[in-house]
């Protein structure tokens, strides 16, 4: 009971502190929407929207509520609602569903349904009624443990009481106390609370480093990630681009190219990073007015301005040139090798519209715009860290694969020279491609999700970073998604982790925090389960041998307080960035079973021996408690190895508290002086327990090592891998 009260008080204090910190951060990161109020544009939080509000929607915005377009036209993606990745044109009178996001264009929309009445809210409520949020492996394992304990303790408790009271004719009070001790020993009191508090504190620590978590399981998932998918722009490079220079094509001898591009820029809104760079560089034009504009879309990968019967295009060379591309390929690759992103400027003989933007004729190439995109200062050390941690980096970009490969190499990404044009990858070949290549260029939005799926099918835990609407489907599919706060609001809302300062160098902090939480909770859970396994096995032994349970609740509390509660709490505070290997439950059971079985064997032998050497119940209870404390210290040493000053300090503090409690509070913990016979048996059983525990630990560690290798290799397991697993497991048993 003292352990439960202490854990609860500490947990409540830390939870309040965590919620206070996270609430402040949530307010800072709240999504705002631009609306018209009293004919003025103002930004307000989404939750303050009301029916009939007119919101202004631009590229990258997520539609906050069900609405109807009253001005302008946009193209939207409803993939998060319908699963279809097609872009849909919306103009005057068109209905917009909340949860979809704007791909291109700008529009004014009047809200018709907000809050719980909106389409996305109804979908969310339906999803909640069908099942809760998917839990992480660690939380799922702990819930499973608690569930099975809850199922087991009721019938076992009734059986133990019946045995003691009806069969052994013990008093009612003694039978209740005996049953209570057994049941108390089976309950992992404080484990769930410790897990919740540890996760909450990790969220607070990350919040102080400008990292916002949208769900708690993302910390653990990132700690287990072995493949990280990143885009070039905004992750490897700075989010801003700059025009380096323009080059006239060999066939163009007309007016100044910069003036033509200036006219293009004057007529085209700056609604993406590329167009902002063009606007910043080309500030003057000839003053030519456009008849209409063709906004950029991720499908076409170009935008256009219509002058009379000609459409001036700027965009990806391969998408505009099509069959003409091979004529210019060598020239483009030369610029790509220098690290430039190349945009082509061309005239198309005809009028293109949003509904009819397919190019059916050859274009006249006017020239090229070369864009530079500086590599982030923090990129190289960050990717070097991931390389050392065994995390594979896959670069997935819409840019030229040669350019992306060169930039990735400069950023220190391992295997950056293994690149491919994603247009060459056909359905059914994605798994083969992700095995062979690390850099993918000219990737279409729908392909990003296929790459993530292929990596997951190969047994990988995948994280996806993104900052644009084109990344959302892949981010939703990934095991964990990370967004830059400087990116589009739709991407930010779809992600599980948000880097508030858009600093990719925060990623190692997130991974390390996840490892700290998982590793420390694994150790703490191992301490808890030793007692639970022992109590369960001892209860079965008592029923089979028709003997009373040998321990009292006060003695169980002494063991719980100083071989479980105190050390587990302190060890959970330690910095522990070791790589996570194996499954949570397997790791916990591997470390707890040797202690639990050793406890059961030692105490059961003590109980049997007590009948032959005539030990009284006080001798048996106190001797059993001392044995359990000794084995508890062995377990603590085993899970703390290799020892450092902090871990040695935790063990020493626990031992001092145990000795002080026995000396100064013997009655509180039901500890009595034991006879010479009991001391003799204690020494023999202690020596035997040391040997049994050591061998059981080696055997279980060996089995765990073999299973970890099986889990890592999966279906790619070879005979040499089997041999390696056998040798490593055997070496651990020696």
Catalytic residues: 231
**107, containing H or E segment:** strand 101-113
The Cα–Cα gap between 182 and 184 comes to 6
The Cα–Cα gap between 475 and 464 comes to 5
Contact assessment for residue 624 and residue 550, using Cβ atoms and an 8 Å cutoff: yes
Q: Using alpha carbons, select from 550, 532, 528 the residue that is nearest to residue 541.
A: 550
The Cα–Cα gap between 232 and 394 comes to 10
The Cα–Cα gap between 628 and 636 comes to 12
Contact assessment for residue 56 and residue 525, using Cβ atoms and an 8 Å cutoff: no
Contact assessment for residue 340 and residue 245, using Cβ atoms and an 8 Å cutoff: no
Cα 338 off chain centre by: 36
3 state DSSP class of 678 = helix
Tally of CB atoms within 10 A around 391: 21
- Which residue matches tokens 């530079």? 372
3 state DSSP class of 97 = coil
- Side by side, which strands form the sheet with 227-230? 211-213, 497-499, 480-484, 462-466, 227-230, 392-396, 439-441, 419-421
Q: Using alpha carbons, select from 58, 15, 13 the residue that is nearest to residue 35.
A: 58
3 state DSSP class of 19 = helix
Q: Using alpha carbons, select from 639, 636, 676 the residue that is nearest to residue 657.
A: 636
Token pair listed for 546: 């028709």
First to last CA, the chain: 41
Contact assessment for residue 90 and residue 73, using Cβ atoms and an 8 Å cutoff: yes
Q: Which residues pair with 41 in a beta bridge?
A: 36
Q: Is beta strand 66-77 parallel, antiparallel or unpaired with respect to 95-96?
A: antiparallel
Tally of CB atoms within 10 A around 637: 14
The Cα–Cα gap between 363 and 358 comes to 12
The Cα–Cα gap between 293 and 384 comes to 44
Residues with Cβ within 8 Å of residue 576, at least 6 apart in sequence: 515, 516, 519, 520
């Amino acid at each position: 009971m003292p352990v439960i009260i202490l854990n609860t008080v500490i947990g409540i204090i830390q939870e309040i502190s965590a919620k206070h910190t996270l609430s402040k951060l949530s307010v800072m990161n709240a999504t705002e929407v631009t609306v018209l109020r009293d004919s003025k544009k103002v930004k307000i939080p989404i939750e303050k929207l009301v029916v009939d509000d007119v919101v202004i929607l631009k590229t990258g915005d997520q539609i906050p509520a069900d609405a109807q377009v009253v001005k302008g036209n946009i193209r939207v993606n409803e993939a998060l609602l319908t699963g279809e990745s097609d872009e849909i044109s919306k103009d005057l009178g068109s209905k917009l569903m909340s949860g979809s996001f704007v791909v291109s264009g700008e529009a004014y929309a009047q809200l018709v349904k907000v809050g719980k009445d909106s389409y996305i809210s109804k979908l969310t409520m339906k999803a909640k009624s069908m099942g809760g949020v998917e839990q992480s492996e660690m939380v799922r394992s702990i819930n499973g443990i608690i569930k099975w304990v809850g199922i087991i303790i009721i019938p076992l408790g009734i059986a133990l009481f019946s045995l003691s009271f009806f069969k052994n004719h013990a008093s009612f009070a003694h039978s209740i106390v005996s049953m209570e001790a057994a049941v108390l020993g089976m309950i992992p009191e404080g484990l769930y609370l410790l897990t919740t508090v540890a996760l909450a504190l990790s969220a607070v620590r990350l919040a102080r480093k400008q990292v916002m978590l949208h769900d708690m399981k993302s910390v653990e998932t990132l700690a287990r990630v072995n493949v990280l998918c990143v885009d070039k722009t905004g992750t490897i490079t700075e989010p801003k681009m700059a025009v380096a220079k323009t080059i006239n094509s060999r066939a163009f001898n007309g007016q100044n190219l910069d003036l033509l591009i200036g006219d293009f820029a004057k007529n085209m809104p700056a609604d993406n990073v590329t167009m902002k760079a063009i606007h910043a560089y080309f500030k003057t034009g000839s003053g030519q007015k456009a008849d209409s504009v063709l906004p950029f879309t991720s499908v076409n990968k170009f935008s256009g301005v219509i002058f009379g019967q000609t459409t001036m295009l700027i965009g990806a060379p391969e998408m505009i040139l099509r069959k003409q591309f091979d004529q210019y390929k060598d020239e483009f690759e030369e610029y790509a090798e220098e690290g430039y992103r190349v945009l082509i400027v061309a005239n198309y003989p005809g009028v293109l519209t949003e509904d009819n933007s397919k190019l059916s004729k050859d274009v006249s190439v006017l020239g090229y715009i070369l864009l530079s995109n500086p590599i982030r200062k923090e990129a190289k050390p960050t990717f070097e860290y991931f390389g050392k941690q065994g995390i594979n980096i896959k670069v997935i970009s819409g840019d030229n694969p040669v350019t992306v490969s060169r930039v990735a190499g400069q950023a220190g990404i391992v295997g950056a020279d293994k690149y491919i044009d994603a247009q060459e990858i056909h359905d059914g070949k994605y798994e083969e491609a992700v095995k062979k290549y690390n850099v993918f260029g000219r990737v279409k939005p729908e392909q990003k999700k296929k790459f993530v799926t292929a990596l997951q099918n190969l047994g990988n835990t995948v994280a996806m970073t993104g900052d644009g609407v084109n990344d959302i489907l892949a981010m939703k599919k990934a095991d964990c998604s990370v967004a830059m706060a400087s990116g589009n609001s739709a991407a930010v809302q779809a992600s599980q982790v948000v880097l508030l300062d858009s600093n990719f160098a925060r990623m190692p902090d997130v991974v390390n925090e996840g490892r700290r939480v998982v590793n420390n909770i694994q150790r703490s859970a191992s301490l808890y389960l030793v007692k639970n396994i022992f109590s369960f096995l001892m209860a079965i032994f008592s029923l089979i041998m028709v003997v009373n349970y040998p321990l009292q609740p006060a003695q169980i509390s002494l063991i719980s307080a100083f071989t479980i509660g105190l050390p587990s709490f302190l060890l959970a505070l330690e910095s522990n960035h070791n790589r996570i290997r194996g499954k949570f439950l397997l790791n916990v059971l591997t470390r707890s079973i040797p202690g639990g079985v050793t406890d059961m064997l030692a105490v059961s032998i003590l109980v049997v021996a007590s009948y032959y050497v005539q030990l009284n119940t006080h001798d048996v209870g106190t001797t059993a408690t001392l044995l359990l404390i000794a084995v508890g210290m062995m377990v603590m040493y085993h899970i703390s190895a290799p020892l450092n000053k902090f871990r040695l300090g935790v063990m020493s503090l626990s031992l001092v508290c145990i000795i002080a409690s026995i000396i100064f509070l013997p009655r509180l913990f039901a500890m009595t002086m034991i006879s010479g016979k009991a001391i003799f048996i204690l020494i023999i059983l202690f020596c035997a327990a040391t040997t049994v525990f050591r061998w059981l630990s080696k055997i279980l560690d060996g089995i765990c090592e073999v299973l970890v290798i099986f889990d890592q290799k999966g279906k790619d397991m070879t005979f040499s891998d089997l041999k390696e697993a056998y040798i490593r497991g055997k070496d651990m048993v020696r």
